């Protein structure tokens, strides 16, 4: 075995095992014949490996479509809750203008576009809407970062959820979507909107629990294999809650007690915020794939 072949096989090891079993020899031949070895070729292999992991099966692409629809519904509801809260405050105080900033409107419009695009099957429009929604989720806390760095931490789960929905829309199966249980998620979204505008603070946790239960009912409507993939997609969002609470508790407490010497999030902390959700998805995916029977080798 030549050194170039050894190097290429190491690169191809980044692909899923079932994918390699079926296509490795063909891909190796293409790479060996490629007249442009170097960084560009390595980048193509890395990009293909990532796409193969995300598009590894029809089950993956169907799960991604469910994630896009359910995630966009919930993010739209959160954005609507904030906008409706501002509108309600304006009406209550008889102000002449609605105190809702442009970022909130962009975020609301972005997730609304994603919902429409998912239901009618327009992938590119969904990507544009999710990009706008993600930008809004980032800009909203980033405006206050220098004064209150914790604003980014408290909103970090929304940022991660927005990234997940964007990626899910890019790798989801094509065509119109109306996944089973979407009505339960729509009901959960309505509960979230009511929670932020009409429910007193003492009842908010109970109402939030109701929303979680409704989303759980929607997930239970999916077939077992699809439920496991949904858990993998949800893992990056779920892990951000303990990450912020336990990993940054001292950081938040220090800034609250010492407003005169506010600390900003350091490089290693930023790395943890990025890498921990990625590792959560990768780990959950590995555990899920181990529970699957190996795919049969391609004949011929």
Burial of 75 (0-12, 13-18, 19+ CB in 10 A): buried
Of all residues in the chain, what percent carry a pLDDT higher than 90?
A: 38
Model confidence band, residue 85 (pLDDT cutoffs 50, 70, 90): low
Calculate what percentage of the chain has a pLDDT beyond 70: 84
The least confident of 20-29, 107-116, 265-274, 276-285 is 20-29
- Nearest-angstrom CA–CA distance, 36 and 17: 26
Residue 125 sits at the vertex; the CA angle it makes with 121 and 129, to the nearest 5 degrees, is 120
- The model's pLDDT over 25-79, given as tens digits with 9 standing for 90+, comes to 888 888 888 776 677 777 777 767 766 666 555 567 888 899 999 999 999 999 9
The Cβ of residue 155 has, within 10 Å, a number of other Cβ atoms equal to 17
Q: What is the pLDDT, as a whole number, of residue 198?
A: 63
The pLDDT score that the predictor gives to residue 77 is: 94
Mean pLDDT computed over 296-300: 44
Average pLDDT on 86-108 reads 65
Lowest mean pLDDT of 101-105, 174-178, 275-279, name the range.
174-178
pLDDT above 50 (res 91): no
Residue 171 CA to residue 51 CA, distance in Å, equals 8
The answer to whether the beta carbons of residues 177 and 116 sit under 8 Å apart is no
**Which one, of 82, 154, 178, 165, lies nearest residue 126 by Cα?**
165
When the pLDDT of each residue in the chain is averaged and rounded to a whole number, the result is 83
Give Dmax (Cα) for the chain.
Answer: 79
Ordered by start, the domain boundaries in the chain are 1-54, 55-290
> Within the chain, where are the H helices?
3-12, 17-33, 39-54, 58-93, 102-120, 123-142, 150-154, 156-171, 182-197, 204-220, 224-247, 249-257, 267-290
Using the predicted structure, report yes or no on whether residue 300 has a pLDDT greater than 50: no
pLDDT band at 207 (very low <50, low <70, confident <90, very high): confident
* Per-residue pLDDT tens digits for 120-161: 888 889 999 999 999 999 999 999 998 889 999 999 999 999
Query: What's 178's DSSP letter?
Result: -
Cα–Cα distance for residue pair 61/54, rounded to 1 Å: 8
pTM: 0.77
* pLDDT tens per residue, range 253-266: 888 888 888 889 99
């Amino acid at each position: 075995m030549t050194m170039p072949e050894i190097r290429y096989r190491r690169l191809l090891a980044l692909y899923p095992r079932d994918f390699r079993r079926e296509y490795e020899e063909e891909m190796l031949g293409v790479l060996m014949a490629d007249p442009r070895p170097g960084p560009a070729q390595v980048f193509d292999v890395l990009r293909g490996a990532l796409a193969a992991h995300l598009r590894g099966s029809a089950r993956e692409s169907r799960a991604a479509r469910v994630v896009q629809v359910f995630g966009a519904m919930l993010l739209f509801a959160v954005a609507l809750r904030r906008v409706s809260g501002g509108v309600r405050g304006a009406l209550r105080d008889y102000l002449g203008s609605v105190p809702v900033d442009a970022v909130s409107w962009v975020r609301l419009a972005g997730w609304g576009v994603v919902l429409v695009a998912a239901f009618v099957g327009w992938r590119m429009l969904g990507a544009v809407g999710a990009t706008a929604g993600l930008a809004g989720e980032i800009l909203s806390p980033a405006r206050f970062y220098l004064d209150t760095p914790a604003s980014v931490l408290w909103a970090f789960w929304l940022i991660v959820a927005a990234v997940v929905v964007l990626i899910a829309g890019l790798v989801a199966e094509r065509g119109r979507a109306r996944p089973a249980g979407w009505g339960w998620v729509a009901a959960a979204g309505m509960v979230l909107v009511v929670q932020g505008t009409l429910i007193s603070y003492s009842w908010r946790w109970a109402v939030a629990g109701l929303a979680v239960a409704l989303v759980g009912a929607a997930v239970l409507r999916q077939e077992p294999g699809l439920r496991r993939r949904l858990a993998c997609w949800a893992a990056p969002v779920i892990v951000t809650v303990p990450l912020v609470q336990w990993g940054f508790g001292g950081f938040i407490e220090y800034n609250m007690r010492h407003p005169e010497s506010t600390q900003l999030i350091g490089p290693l902390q930023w790395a943890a915020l990025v890498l921990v959700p990625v590792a959560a998805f990768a780990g959950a995916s590995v555990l899920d794939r181990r529970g699957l029977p190996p795919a049969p080798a391609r004949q011929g």
